């Protein structure tokens, strides 16, 4: 068992996500920074589907009730490694000076019951385990592998967000990707796991709305006010705003670490 002594702003159980249920209105959910969560699991010898704890802005404190390898990755750990905790030891993720989300993996994974094939918490649809609270006691599965060496491949460094063409270019006129790249975007405070909202000069678009259609992770929707929303892991399966572009799949993880008030640079993918 893992006892939660403090949570900070938000702690969620997440794994790779819930796939194959969009037609039923269920988002994919899953760790927002997928490479960081995968690295944490590799470091402690878990398989790729093991559930971890996603900590927003730090403040998570846990006590392990058994001897286990643990690892913290993401914003709190630029040089992560596996650490052996003994029964009764505590681990704290401090408040973060940069970035947004950190990931705690425990050998064996967080073994809460899966819902629709995943242990991920979906904040939009309310599917999966509830958000973690102080005093919760979380089950840990049986350890399956040895901890990894310190030279385990790490996620790439942050940089400009590459954008692929979207399906609704005719709503914006020519050069919409260039317009996205030329605008100085700021991450809005209203951003969450559903979508990253951007503030900046409005993108001109055709008035009106689409008939709702399927949406994808990383889609850059443009509402009537012209300020984009980038869809993240808990986004709804359908939407009616035109999509000006789609974030390259390999860059979506960066959006998980973008803080409100930070600048965000978009670039057309080569």
Give the residues across from 118 on adjacent strands. 115
Which element (helix H / strand E) includes 239? strand 238-239
Q: Look up residue 55 and give its two tokens.
A: 């900590």
pLDDT in tens, 85-122: 999 999 999 988 899 999 999 999 999 999 999 999 99
Give the residues across from 267 on adjacent strands. 162
pLDDT in tens, 16-72: 999 999 888 898 999 999 999 999 999 999 999 999 999 999 999 999 999 999 999
**Scanning the structure block, which residue is given the tokens 């704890």?**
53
Q: Note the pTM of the prediction, 2 decimals.
A: 0.94
Domain boundaries, the chain: 2-138, 161-268
pLDDT in tens, 181-227: 999 999 999 999 999 999 999 999 999 888 999 999 999 999 999 99
Coil, helix or strand at residue 22? helix
pLDDT in tens, 143-158: 888 888 766 666 667 8
So what CATH class is 161-268? mainly beta
Distance between CA 109 and CA 111 in Å, rounded? Answer: 6
């Amino acid at each position: 068992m893992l006892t939660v002594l403090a949570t900070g702003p938000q702690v969620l159980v997440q794994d790779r996500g819930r796939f194959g249920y969009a037609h039923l209105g269920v988002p994919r959910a899953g760790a927002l920074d997928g490479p960081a969560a995968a690295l944490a699991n590799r470091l402690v010898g878990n398989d790729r589907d093991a559930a971890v704890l996603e900590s927003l802005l730090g403040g998570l404190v846990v006590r392990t009730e058994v001897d286990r390898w643990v690892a913290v990755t993401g914003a709190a750990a630029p040089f992560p490694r596996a650490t052996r905790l003994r029964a009764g030891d505590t681990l704290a993720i401090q408040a973060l000076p940069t970035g947004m989300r950190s990931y705690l993996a425990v050998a064996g994974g967080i073994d809460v019951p899966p819902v629709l094939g995943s242990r991920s918490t979906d904040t939009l649809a309310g599917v999966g385990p509830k958000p973690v609270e102080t005093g919760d006691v979380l089950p840990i599965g049986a350890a399956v592998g040895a901890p990894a060496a310190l030279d385990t491949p790490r996620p790439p460094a942050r940089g400009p967000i590459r954008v692929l063409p979207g399906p609704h270019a005719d709503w914006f006129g020519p050069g919409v990707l260039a317009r996205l790249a030329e605008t100085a975007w700021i991450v809005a405070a209203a951003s969450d796991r559903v979508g990253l909202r951007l503030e900046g000069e409005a993108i001109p678009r055709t008035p009106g709305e689409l008939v709702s259609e399927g949406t994808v992770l990383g889609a850059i929707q443009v509402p009537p006010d012209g300020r984009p929303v980038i869809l993240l892991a808990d986004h709804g399966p359908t939407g009616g705003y035109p999509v000006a572009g789609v974030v390259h799949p390999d860059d979506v993880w960066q959006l998980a670490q973008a803080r409100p008030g930070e600048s965000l640079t978009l670039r057309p993918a080569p």
